[in-house]
Structure 1
């Protein structure tokens, strides 16, 4: 028996043993508590989604599910932690669009690779923005807004929570796709931007639904369009940006669940099934819509494709517009 043959046999045996061990681990999963790592402080969108889904997963899996907040570096510290964790299904990342598709573009050496270091599990919810204006601006539709912006380049401004954030990038993408010259005004947070929008100091914003809904309903702001794939249930008469004339436009944040690369497919499938059941429950459907979120029906493959699509879109925009964060 040649030495090459012996070496090949040993390699094949080791691979078979590893596969058997992995399969056995998947069959007994979960046998200890599961950690959901959140890259932001308690009370934010990522945290709210994690704490909504966590108890449902715990009930379904028969194990404790612990939400751990690990804020820092725009959520990237949490992603780096999970990327380096054992791929056994016990340390999972509650993903956000900003962590996976925006923040890495602003760092020369991010602590993880969005595509190489993770296995996608499930998209939980999306969070579209609403294009809103102060009623003093003489527009009632998105077509009116575009016509005014084109007739007076640089005269209309839009506020955001800060340079490089999703609301800002949504506006920059809109400028390019609609062919309008509107001026970005960055704020240090959503609250001051909203206050100035209501006060008329700025004229427009790409804002979270839950922040502006009551002001739209009260007539203090005018909703021109929503930025997601389809109309939002709490604003049924407001068209999408794409419907309103900027074909193909989509800009939204989202939250999902991912695992370290190499996590067994059986564990990914089990987690996906339980997340889907949780999101489909009447309780979470109602809770998410109330919070301005759209429950997802995406498959694991569709979630993976979304991450790549958004990463490429924002990366291209950030480079072309030479955007630098605050």
Structure 2
């Protein structure tokens, strides 16, 4: 009889345990919460009001509406964007901290001797390439050259010292100038500035004869007849400036563009990356966003994370070779 009672007690305990397990299984896990379930922060390594910041805020607004959450833009300036990059790399890999990256941050800075060898391509996961922009080769009106070919011929004559301004030493603008010299077989002196605006002022003032700059910085001046445009650095002519020849029309294979995209910390779950990629692509596909990008001199890119990873890989290798050959360091 004792054994029967013991058996019934054990059965009741076992039954209660089974029920408890079933009830626990019915309670949603905190880890199973849908993404996103709270606000998302986009870290921008550049000052408020700049192109990267404006792009982050414009996309962030629509992205937040689509995801039904708030998007917070946080500017962490310094070290060519690397302060923000390192902060993002240390964040939880849960999709709630997104880094806005420029091509310089992922394809130039990792090669610099003074960059502490921080490589975003190993610390972060690509999400999507948001937009790209070509650079324009602008010249003072009194420069006796009206095309890339004429500029090269002028450089080879060595009758005057040629120099070109850029927004800084470790920038795509600098690499474009160095590539042009390499392709053309002539030399110019590089003049680095702290931003494109300062170089444009010196071009207008006659202190420098040439510069590489973003379309928004130089095209209005060219339209007003204050400077002239010799070429564009994109592989083909830029759709918004069809009358400006691509430098590749003179030197086949010449191409260097600037782009801005999103990355997440390494080990971020694939479903989170997929969700963000899908939603950013949806924003980029809207007429409103494309019209806004046009005004910024940029072109929507989109695509998959692998597309972005492939672009970074190609430029990482090519630009790394240039950085090492030229001994480029940070300013």
Supply the distance in 2 between the matched residues of 1:135 and 1:109 (Cα, whole angstroms). 38
- Equivalent residues of 1:26, 1:266 under 8 A apart: no
Q: Find the partner of 2:251 among 246, 249, 263.
A: 246
Quote the offset at 1:110 in angstroms. 3.3
1:234/1:294 CA distance change after superposition, 3 Å:
same
Q: Residues 176-215 of structure 1: matches in 2 within 5 Å?
A: 176-215=182-221
TM-score computed with the length of structure 2 as normaliser: 0.86
Q: Find the partner of 2:230 among 224, 231, 253.
A: 224
- Equivalent residues of 1:35, 1:68 under 8 A apart: yes
Q: Residues 43-82 of structure 1: matches in 2 within 5 Å?
A: 43-82=49-88
Structure 2 unaligned segments of length 5 or more: list them: 1-28
Q: Deviations over 1:250-277 (max 9, x none)?
A: 1122110011111111111111111111
1:229/1:299 CA distance change after superposition, 3 Å:
farther
Supply the distance in 1 between the matched residues of 2:276 and 2:215 (Cα, whole angstroms). 29
Supply the distance in 2 between the matched residues of 1:324 and 1:86 (Cα, whole angstroms). 31
Quote the offset at 1:121 in angstroms. 0.5
1:217/1:272 CA distance change after superposition, 3 Å:
same
Q: Residues 15-94 of structure 1: matches in 2 within 5 Å?
A: 25=31, 28-94=34-100
Paired residue for 1:315?
320
Supply the distance in 1 between the matched residues of 2:164 and 2:94 (Cα, whole angstroms). 45
Classify the secondary structure of the residue corresponding to 1:116: helix
Quote the offset at 1:282 in angstroms. 1.0
Supply the distance in 1 between the matched residues of 2:194 and 2:34 (Cα, whole angstroms). 48
Classify the secondary structure of the residue corresponding to 1:115: helix
Q: Find the partner of 2:134 among 128, 146, 150.
A: 128
Supply the distance in 2 between the matched residues of 1:237 and 1:113 (Cα, whole angstroms). 38
- C-alpha root-mean-square deviation of aligned residues, in Å? 2.0
Moved more, 52-61 or 139-148: 139-148
Quote the offset at 1:47 in angstroms. 0.7
Moved more, 182-191 or 254-263: 182-191
Paired residue for 2:278?
273
1:60/1:42 CA distance change after superposition, 3 Å:
same
Moved more, 309-318 or 278-287: 309-318
Paired residue for 2:300?
295
* Segments ≥4 residues shifted beyond 3 Å: 23-27, 107-112
Supply the distance in 1 between the matched residues of 2:114 and 2:161 (Cα, whole angstroms). 35
1:192/1:324 CA distance change after superposition, 3 Å:
same
Structure 1 unaligned segments of length 5 or more: list them: 1-22
Q: Find the partner of 1:110 among 95, 100, 116.
A: 116
1:99/1:263 CA distance change after superposition, 3 Å:
same
1:180/1:299 CA distance change after superposition, 3 Å:
farther
Quote the offset at 1:195 in angstroms. 1.4
Question: Based on CA coordinates, which of the two structures has the bigger radius of gyration?
Answer: 2
1:120/1:24 CA distance change after superposition, 3 Å:
farther
Supply the distance in 2 between the matched residues of 1:231 and 1:297 (Cα, whole angstroms). 20
Paired residue for 2:169?
163
Supply the distance in 1 between the matched residues of 2:159 and 2:252 (Cα, whole angstroms). 21
Number of residues of Structure 1 aligned to a counterpart in Structure 2: 303
